[in-house]
């Protein structure tokens, strides 16, 4: 069996995204692997274009994302994962995950499927549909059950 020393887990803070991170944490604890948790966040310029420059909503969204990520890290620590890093990366979800995979060079990438329907997945795509093709690494998709 190939040793797993680096695990990349992604979340959109949905129930399934966070469940994927918890599953990755269990494996990280068992393998004594480093765990990198990544959340993709829209670019500041996109938020300003959508909400205006003087609007405080983008800053509140960043604060909420940081609070969610910090809470998830604390949850993961209780599972027993010891070597944890967490990052919020600006950009599209699939590009952010692919960039993180390229930089971090994980042995395993875990992505939570967020439960979109098949038609919506076809037209909009999903986070789990692109990164593996771009990063060259295989990855399991954690879903319900």
User: What are the residue ranges spanned by the domains of the chain?
Assistant: 6-142
Residues of the chain with pLDDT > 90, as a percent, come to 49
Task: Give the whole-angstrom CA distance, residue 80 versus residue 131.
Answer: 27
**pLDDT over 50 (residue 35):** yes
**pLDDT over 60 (residue 58):** yes
At 77 the pLDDT is: 95
Fold category of 6-142 in CATH: Rossmann fold (3.40.50)
At 45 the pLDDT is: 80
77 vs 121: which has the higher pLDDT? 77
**pLDDT over 90 (residue 124):** no
- For the chain, give me the number of helices (H) and strands (E)? 6, 5
* Residue 2 binned pLDDT confidence (cut-offs 50, 70, 90): confident
Average confidence (pLDDT) over 70-90: 94
Average confidence (pLDDT) over 74-87: 94
142 vs 61: which has the higher pLDDT? 61
Cβ atoms < 10 Å from Cβ of 133: 10
Short-list 65, 63, 128, 61, CA closest to 101:
128
- H or E segment and range at residue 88: strand 83-90
**pLDDT over 80 (residue 97):** yes
**pLDDT over 80 (residue 17):** yes
């Amino acid at each position: 069996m190939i040793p797993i020393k680096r695990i990349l887990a992604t979340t959109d803070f949905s129930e399934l995204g966070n469940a994927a991170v918890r599953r990755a944490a269990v494996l990280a604890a068992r393998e004594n692997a480093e765990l990198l948790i990544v959340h993709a966040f829209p670019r500041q310029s996109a938020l300003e274009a959508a909400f205006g420059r003087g609007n405080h909503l983008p800053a509140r969204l960043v604060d909420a994302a940081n609070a969610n990520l910090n809470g998830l890290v604390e949850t993961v620590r209780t599972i027993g994962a010891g070597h944890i890093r967490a990052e919020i990366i600006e950009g599209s979800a699939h590009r952010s995950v692919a960039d993180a995979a390229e930089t971090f060079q994980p042995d395993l990438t875990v992505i939570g499927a967020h439960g979109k329907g098949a038609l919506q997945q076809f037209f909009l795509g999903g986070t789990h549909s692109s990164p593996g093709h771009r990063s060259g690494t295989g990855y399991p998709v954690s879903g319900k059950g």
